[in-house]
Amino acid sequence: MIVKLIDRQMIRGYFKSYFVCLASLLSLYVVVDLFTNLDDFTQHNQGLWASLLRIVTYYAYQVAKIFDRLCEAIVLLAAMFTVAWMQRNNEQVPLLSAGVSTRRIVLPVLLCAFFMLSMTVINQELIIPRIADKLALDKDDPDGEKSVPVRSAYDSNGIHITGDRAVRQNRTVSGFCATILDPQGGQLFHLSAKEARYFPGSGPRQGGWELVSAWPLEVPPIPGILEPRDIGRYFLHTRDVDFDAVTRNPNWFIMASTPQLYEELQRPESTRLASMAVLFHSRLTRPILGMVLVLLGLSVILRDQNRNVIISSGLCLVLCGVFFAACYACKMLGDNEYLNPALAAWLPVLFFGPHSLVLFDAVHT
């Protein structure tokens, strides 16, 4: 019965520490970022309430991205504060005297940390990919009215698409140009348009581009690819190249889900394959690295119970900095193809994993 009460106390203490750290770090990030970029929110001079609404809307979406960046650090801080507070209140000594091992005492903390790391995976795989278009908007362009550069893309229909500028608000591309492979004649021909608008969906005249003021004025139809509508007006069907594919920035895959990364890696025309491959493998190792980080932090705090709590917490933070620096270094080596992508993602696990288990096993029980 005593152990169950202690479990509930540890769980309650962990989540209290977690939400305090989460609120503190999120608030700090938002406040610093807001005051640094305040002019971007108010430069349109739409009034106080309109500016406040824009700020609230922008950071409401950004919270998911900020949480994704800080999740491992918050999990470690919450575990560290929970155990350090228990030691400061001398709650560990009576439990050890009663025959309860140190590993059993901190087991609820480890389970809570694992639960919060699973919430991180849900945020990464389900929430961020769904709001990726909102996260890509600039602070001074909440409605997507600014023109953005267009990237070339190749569709599996045998179509190569380029353009000059695009506007996200109405999904239009100016200076649109398409090089089409005629599957019947096996010949290439070029089709340019002053403007092209993308229509999503899978119904009639959806899932493709409507070309306006196109040249040549008359082109014979190509079944399943090109559908003439009028003189100088066509509908171009594409399978893979939508509006997002031609307007996304070079690091778009950071906000993609793991299945989307896998599908993109299978495409032969994909770019930045090394970075995507490193990120794909990092998604697989992320929960493991999160638990390794928690074990390392708790081992430092629990290893010497007579050490000052502030000193133990400081050592834990130093270890956390070394851990993240090593992970970042491996990522950079993988992105620049000095290391195999799989090795770049798994090397921190192979190095820190055994160390964390040895240190945690050496904790006095």
Helix (H), strand (E), coil (C) string for 256-278: CCHHHHHHHHCCCCCCCHHHHHH
Per the domain annotation, does 262 fall within a domain? no
Are both 218 and 333 inside the same structural domain?
A: no
Are both 129 and 276 inside the same structural domain?
A: yes
Q: Residue 285's pLDDT is what?
A: 94
Q: Assess contact for 16 and 79: CB atoms under 8 A.
A: no
Per the domain annotation, does 109 fall within a domain? yes
Q: What's the pLDDT tens digit per position in 167-176?
A: 888 889 999 9
| Structural domain for 236, as ranges | 147-248
**Which residue among 248, 279, 306 closes a domain?**
248
Q: Residue 1's pLDDT is what?
A: 40
Distance CA 148, CA 197 (A): 15
pTM: 0.80
Q: Residue 117's pLDDT is what?
A: 92
Q: Residue 138's pLDDT is what?
A: 74
Q: Residue 126's pLDDT is what?
A: 92
Per the domain annotation, does 258 fall within a domain? no
**In 10 A of CB 195, how many CB atoms?**
17
Q: Residue 346's pLDDT is what?
A: 94
Are both 26 and 108 inside the same structural domain?
A: yes
Per the domain annotation, does 141 fall within a domain? no
**Which residue among 196, 215, 248 closes a domain?**
248
**Which residue among 248, 280, 311 closes a domain?**
248
Per the domain annotation, does 179 fall within a domain? yes
Per-residue pLDDT of the chain (365 residues; tens, 9 = 90+): 455 777 888 899 899 999 999 999 899 988 888 888 887 777 765 677 877 888 888 888 899 999 998 898 899 989 888 888 887 777 777 777 777 787 888 889 999 999 999 999 999 999 999 888 888 777 777 667 788 888 888 888 888 899 999 988 888 999 999 888 877 766 788 889 999 999 888 777 788 899 998 888 888 888 888 888 888 898 988 888 888 888 887 788 888 899 988 888 887 666 668 888 999 999 999 999 999 999 988 888 887 666 676 777 788 888 888 999 999 999 999 988 899 999 999 999 999 999 888 888 887 66
Q: Residue 344's pLDDT is what?
A: 93
Per the domain annotation, does 263 fall within a domain? no
Q: Specify the 3-state DSSP secondary structure of 310.
A: helix
Q: Residue 169's pLDDT is what?
A: 82
Distance CA 85, CA 79 (A): 10
Are both 20 and 103 inside the same structural domain?
A: yes
Per the domain annotation, does 255 fall within a domain? no
Give the residue among 350, 333, 335 at the shortest CA–CA distance from 288.
Answer: 350
Q: Residue 282's pLDDT is what?
A: 93
- Structural domain count of the chain: 2
- What burial letters (b/e) apply to 149-183, b meaning 16+ CB within 10 Å? ebbebbbebebbbbbeebbbeebbbeebbbbbeee
Are both 116 and 20 inside the same structural domain?
A: yes
Per the domain annotation, does 259 fall within a domain? no
Are both 223 and 284 inside the same structural domain?
A: no
Are both 160 and 213 inside the same structural domain?
A: yes
Using the 8-state DSSP alphabet, how is residue 252 labeled? G
Are both 129 and 24 inside the same structural domain?
A: yes
Are both 183 and 235 inside the same structural domain?
A: yes
Are both 229 and 179 inside the same structural domain?
A: yes
Q: Residue 291's pLDDT is what?
A: 92
Q: Kindly state the tokens that stand for 307.
A: 């050490």
Are both 235 and 163 inside the same structural domain?
A: yes
Are both 17 and 102 inside the same structural domain?
A: yes
